[in-house]
């Protein structure tokens, strides 16, 4: 008996959906794209409206034959690829290859892989959305033209293996520009002056910070400025001149979209963008949970919409009421406004079943999936909880003509903060806690005056979190592009990571200078953001993708000709190390490989010596007394091993502590990072540990 065929991208997704649809449906996976542009050439027909020339992806022939046979033997074929541009394009390619009329109602989508969502989708198939397909195709064609036109010039003029890309070039320029800002930064001196004071009746101490003179803010730029103030307040009374009490609310942050999930996972979990999206994909596609079968645990993870389904709002409000009580539940559900540039086809990222708590699922998930699910679940529940409330007090203290200020803050009601607090990219200055009861006119006891010198700091280098935030704010790229963009600029050796921060390499600076000098539009933030908006207009059916590419290509072709003619060959010097090659005696140089920097002999090809960069930690191996070195695994992950490896098998993912030994047994201490920051003893028989 003929069944209905449903085609999805992945086997995991197929397994979950099959469970919901029953025996009358066959569910098969396409394993992603089945057709693409070949890697060997541009394959865009510039002369004929930029028509792309697709080929079947190598190795997909047998799979395609099985899909064709299954489609032929089926009553009806449903294309159920992901609900975005990329998914629509995969469905369009499948329809072409399986000879399905694209105007036929063969396309189904669901924002979450739950029984209700899948069954509803099956009852409401639609035709393939050609606007969505054109939007994906336009991006693909534009990126292919840019990459395959500029890259050969970089190979010829700089070195082989380089590439240029529409979004990656802008990201690289942002990192290079930030580095230039840091290099050009001139630090300015400033001083802080604090008064340690005591309230007479209670004997309670507090600190007031210097603010200014006669009510106006005054900056202390030198020690002479400080001494001038100190001389004038040496005998002055410190008198309370104003006390303002109030109440301050802190509202919860919205549920996650792709970019904010990537940022928060970077800040709180230390995840790379790639690692975050891999865990999110697995949570979306489905996990086997005892008592529930295979369940899709989160909604679609590529989204820039803050919309929440009414059913989900009803469920989470009921959960908050039952678990936390009425005081934690706002009178109305919170509605978050989506950015005007966002595509509102999807919801925000949320758990599909709020009653499936992280604690309940812990045994069914990998560590990465559990950590990410907990983050998503807590953020979603918190976004519908009451605001946190603080009692605040602001105090003005006058000494002669000078004004000092003190602020106190005490939590009155935790609200959403009982569950979740958003991470921050910058160190937040903690506000003072409770101040003593003070009244205007109170004369305080001066205990001591403290002053210290500071210097203004240059802007911080980008981390993954702050780079994504900047790309999003400037309208560069879209949720699906951030992960591949960061992967590409790192793999190409244009930037390196130092303590989670991006630092441009010499090669990255050279390539960015070439791009800025000869292809300014490609690295111009405003131009790229405008291009993104035009491509979004294609998706909305308000623009013709061919016209957009044609308008872009005219000036771009002229820039190409000019660059070919004017650009001179550039030699990028390798950074020389102080490590001597043991085979030929030359100073080894730093090279960039697939997993980051390594040392290589500059005498290549006569001398082919290469080795990893070795960093001494200063710690001693507990097994043989050798030096413990910082090393990198084949996948580029940092670990610590003995210099006598492989004779000595000491190895740890945790960093050794060099300045102290275990106070219990005298053994090696290791510093564990992540959420449970603590120092532990390496000795398995010793239970010593302390929180950091």
pLDDT tens profile 546-570:
999 999 999 999 999 999 999 988 8
pTM recorded for the entire structure: 0.84
Residue % of the chain over a pLDDT of 70 = 96
Say which range, 10-24, 137-151, 307-321, 630-644, has the weakest mean pLDDT.
630-644
The chain-wide mean pLDDT, for the chain, equals 92
Q: Which residues pair with 691 in a beta bridge?
A: 678
Q: So which residues are the catalytic ones?
A: 300
Q: Which residues pair with 405 in a beta bridge?
A: 209, 396
Select from 216, 217, 173, 220 the least CA-distant residue to 192: 220
pLDDT given for residue 645 in this prediction: 84
The span from the CA of 109 to the CA of 484, in Å, is 24
- What token pair was written down for 299? 């909604």
- Axis crossing angle, helix 166-184 with helix 464-473, rounded to the nearest 10: 110
Select from 534, 508, 637, 556 the least CA-distant residue to 145: 556
Select from 81, 83, 84, 104 the least CA-distant residue to 93: 81
| Alpha helices (H) in 163-202, listed in sequence order | 166-184
Q: Identify which has the larger pLDDT, 673 or 257.
A: 257
Q: Which residues pair with 88 in a beta bridge?
A: none
The span from the CA of 618 to the CA of 658, in Å, is 6
Q: Identify which has the larger pLDDT, 106 or 341.
A: 106
pLDDT given for residue 169 in this prediction: 95
Say which range, 16-25, 330-339, 672-681, has the weakest mean pLDDT.
672-681
pLDDT given for residue 345 in this prediction: 62
The span from the CA of 40 to the CA of 191, in Å, is 61
pLDDT at 644 over 90: no
pLDDT given for residue 346 in this prediction: 80
CA dihedral 532→538→541→542, nearest 10 degrees, is 60
C-alpha dist (Å) from residue 84 to 89, 124, 304, 331, 536: 9, 17, 11, 34, 12
pLDDT band at 590 (very low <50, low <70, confident <90, very high): confident
pLDDT at 332 over 70: yes
Q: What is the dihedral sign for C-alpha 376, 377, 380, 383? A: negative
Select from 382, 298, 386, 398 the least CA-distant residue to 346: 298
pLDDT given for residue 605 in this prediction: 87
**213 three-class SS:** strand
pLDDT in tens, 37-87: 999 999 999 999 999 999 999 999 999 999 999 999 999 999 999 999 999
> Are 391 and 247 in contact, with CB atoms under 8 Å apart?
yes
The span from the CA of 477 to the CA of 174, in Å, is 13
- What token pair was written down for 432? 């003072």
pLDDT in tens, 341-398: 655 568 999 999 999 999 999 999 999 999 999 999 999 999 999 999 999 999 999 9
- Alpha carbon 290 to chain centroid, angstroms: 32
The span from the CA of 624 to the CA of 289, in Å, is 45
pLDDT band at 636 (very low <50, low <70, confident <90, very high): low
**371 three-class SS:** helix
C-alpha dist (Å) from residue 370 to 103, 455, 527: 41, 42, 40
pLDDT in tens, 418-458: 999 988 766 555 455 789 999 999 999 999 999 999 999 99
pLDDT at 90 over 90: yes
Say which range, 180-194, 489-503, 631-645, has the weakest mean pLDDT.
631-645
3-state SS of 575-599 is CEEEEECCCCCCEEEEEEECCEEEE
Buried b (16+ CB within 10 A) or exposed e, 596-607: bbbbbbebeeeb
pLDDT given for residue 578 in this prediction: 83
The span from the CA of 176 to the CA of 494, in Å, is 10
The span from the CA of 28 to the CA of 312, in Å, is 29
The single-letter DSSP state of residue 524 is: -
Pairing of strands 4-8, 77-79: parallel
C-alpha dist (Å) from residue 683 to 161, 334, 623: 47, 51, 11
pLDDT (average), residues 268-273: 92
For residue 25, give the H/E element and its range.
strand 25-29
φ/ψ region of 132 (left if φ > 0, alpha if ψ in -120 to 50, else beta) reads alpha
3-state DSSP percent of the chain in helix, strand and coil, to 5: 35, 25, 40
pLDDT at 316 over 80: yes
pLDDT given for residue 577 in this prediction: 87
For residue 441, give the H/E element and its range.
none
**73 three-class SS:** coil
pLDDT at 122 over 90: yes
The span from the CA of 113 to the CA of 47, in Å, is 43
pLDDT in tens, 471-528: 999 999 888 889 999 999 998 889 988 888 999 998 999 999 999 999 999 999 999 9
pLDDT at 616 over 60: yes
pLDDT band at 340 (very low <50, low <70, confident <90, very high): low
Residue % of the chain over a pLDDT of 90 = 77
pLDDT given for residue 674 in this prediction: 67
């Amino acid at each position: 008996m003929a069944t209905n065929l449903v085609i999805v991208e992945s086997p995991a997704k197929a397994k979950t959906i099959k469970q919901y649809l029953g025996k009358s449906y066959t569910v098969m996976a396409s394993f992603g794209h089945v057709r693409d542009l070949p890697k060997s050439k541009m394959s865009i027909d510039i002369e004929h409206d930029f028509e792309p020339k697709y080929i079947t992806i190598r190795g997909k022939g047998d799979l395609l034959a099985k899909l064709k046979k299954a489609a032929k033997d089926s009553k009806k074929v449903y294309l159920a690829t992901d609900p975005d541009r990329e998914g629509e394009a995969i469905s369009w390619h499948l329809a072409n290859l399986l000879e399905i009329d694209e105007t036929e109602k063969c396309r189904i989508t669901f924002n979450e892989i739950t029984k209700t969502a899948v069954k509803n989708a099956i009852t409401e198939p639609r035709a393939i959305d050609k606007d969505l397909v054109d939007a994906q195709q336009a991006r693909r064609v534009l990126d292919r033209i840019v990459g395959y036109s500029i890259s050969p010039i970089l190979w010829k003029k700089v070195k082989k293996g380089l590439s240029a890309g529409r979004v990656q070039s802008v990201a690289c320029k942002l990192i290079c520009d930030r580095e230039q800002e840091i290099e050009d930064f001139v630090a300015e001196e400033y001083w802080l002056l604090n008064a340690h004071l005591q309230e007479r009746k209670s004997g309670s101490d507090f600190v007031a910070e210097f603010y200014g003179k006669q009510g106006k803010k005054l900056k202390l730029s030198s020690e002479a400025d400080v001494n001038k103030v100190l001389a004038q307040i040496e005998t002055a009374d410190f008198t309370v001149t104003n006390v303002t009490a109030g109440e301050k609310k802190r509202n919860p942050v919205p549920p996650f979209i792709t970019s904010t999930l990537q940022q928060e996972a970077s800040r709180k979990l230390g995840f790379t963008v790639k690692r975050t999206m891999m865990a999110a994909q697995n949570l979306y596609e489905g996990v086997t949970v005892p008592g529930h079968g295979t369940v899709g645990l989160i909604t679609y993870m590529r989204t820039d919409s803050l919309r929440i389904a009414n059913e989900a709002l009803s469920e989470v409000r009921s959960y908050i009421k039952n678990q936390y009580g009425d005081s934690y539940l706002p009178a109305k559900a919170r509605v978050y406004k989506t950015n005007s540039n966002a595509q509102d086809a999807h919801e925000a990222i949320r758990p599909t079943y709020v009653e499936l708590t992280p604690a309940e699922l812990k045994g069914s998930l990998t560590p990465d999936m559990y950590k990410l699910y907990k983050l998503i679940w807590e953020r979603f529940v918190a976004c519908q909880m009451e605001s946190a409330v603080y009692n605040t007090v602001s105090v003005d203290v006058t000494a002669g003509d000078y004004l000092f200020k003190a602020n106190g803050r005490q939590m009155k009601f935790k609200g959403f903060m009982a569950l979740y607090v958003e991470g921050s990219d910058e160190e937040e200055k903690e506000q003072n806690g409770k101040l003593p009861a003070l009244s205007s006119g109170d004369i305080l006891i001066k205990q001591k005056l403290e002053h210290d010198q500071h210097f203004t700091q240059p802007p911080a280098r980008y981390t993954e979190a702050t780079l994504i935030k900047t790309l999003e704010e400037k309208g560069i790229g879209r949720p699906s592009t951030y992960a591949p963009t960061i992967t590409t600029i790192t793999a190409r050796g244009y930037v390196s990571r130092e303590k989670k921060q991006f630092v441009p390499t010499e090669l990255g600076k050279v390539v960015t200078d070439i791009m800025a000098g000869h292809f300014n539009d490609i690295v111009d933030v405003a131009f790229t953001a405008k291009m993104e908006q035009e491509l979004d207009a294609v998706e909305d059916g308000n623009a013709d993708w061919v016209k957009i590419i044609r308008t872009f290509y005219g000036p771009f072709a002229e820039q190409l000709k000019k660059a070919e003619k004017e650009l001179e060959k550039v030699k990028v010097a390798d950074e020389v190390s102080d490590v001597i090659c043991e085979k030929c005696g030359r100073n080894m140089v730093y090279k960039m490989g697939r997993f980051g920097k390594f040392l290589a002999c500059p005498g290549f090809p006569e001398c082919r010596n290469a080795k990893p960069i070795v960093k001494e930690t200063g710690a001693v191996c507990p097994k043989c007394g050798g030096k413990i070195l910082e090393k990198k695994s084949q996948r580029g992950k940092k670990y610590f091993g003995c210099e006598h490896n492989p004779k000595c098998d000491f190895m740890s993912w945790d960093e050794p502590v060099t300045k102290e030994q275990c106070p219990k047994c005298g053994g090696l201490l290791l510093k564990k990072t992540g959420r449970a920051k603590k120092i532990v003893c390496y000795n398995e028989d010793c239970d010593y540990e302390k929180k950091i």
